[in-house]
Structures are given as C-alpha cells and as structure tokens.
Amino acid sequence: MDIKTLMRTRFVPPSYRKELLLKLQRLHQGPMCVSEYFKELESQMFRVGIKETNKEKMKRFVNGLRRDIQDQVELYEYSTLQHVFTLALRIETQLKRKKRARKRYSPNHYYSHSWKGKTKEKHDKSPSKSH
C-alpha cells in the first residue's frame, strides 16, 4: 500500500467517499458551459479516485450534458473522450450562435424598432404646434 492510500483509510471516513460518489453521479452540465462541466467532471472523478475505461468516461460525460447538446452529440461517432469533448464544444458554439440569430431577427425585435414612434415624435416637435 502507498502512503496516500494509508492516509485515506486512516483519516477519511467511508461516508465521505460515498458522498463524493453521489455528487459525481448527480453531476450534470446545467447552466455551466461544456468546458466548465468537463473540468468539474474530471475534478470530481479525481477526488473520488475512480478508474474508468475510456468508454465509461465518454458515457458519463455525454449523459451529463444538457439535452440539446446531448441529442446532437449522439448523432456523431466518436472514439475518445477528447473527441467527444471537442464535438460538444462545437455544438454548444453553434447553438449559441443560432440563439443569438433568433434573438436578433425575432418579430418582437423588429417591432420594437418600428417607424411609428419616431414619426410621432417628429410631429410633436413641429413648429406648427407652437402657433
């Protein structure tokens, strides 16, 4: 046994490891961006000391992604964790770009810059009213 394992068994209660495992199992992307989620996932896996195969890591990562990203990632083939991470980053960027475009060209945005209010203001300032 190495010193790290000895120290852990002596000073860290088993309930702590159980809490870390539960936290890892419940980890989802939520409001985090893909890169933050990936870092948090790696950090928690390191804390727990879990050893998983590449396939298991990929599955855990994809299952924790937001549904809109997860659905698109599953359409592609990937063989490494780095590949699926890069794919998720690209998809996230595309979704953000589409969301901004929808916002820019939404009907509410169009009508908020209507000509009606501007012409009314011009008529209010016209010299004919000062007579």
Residue 116 lies in a domain: no
Residue 4 lies in a domain: no
User: pTM for the complete prediction?
Assistant: 0.70
Angle, helix 34-48 to helix 54-64, in steps of 10 degrees: 130
The predicted pLDDT at position 116 comes to 53
Residue span of the structural domain in which 37 resides: 13-98
- Reported as a pLDDT band with limits 50, 70 and 90, residue 27 is very high
Residue 34 lies in a domain: yes
Three-state helix/strand/coil letters over 28-52: CCCCCCHHHHHHHHHHHHHHHCCCC
Residue 62 lies in a domain: yes
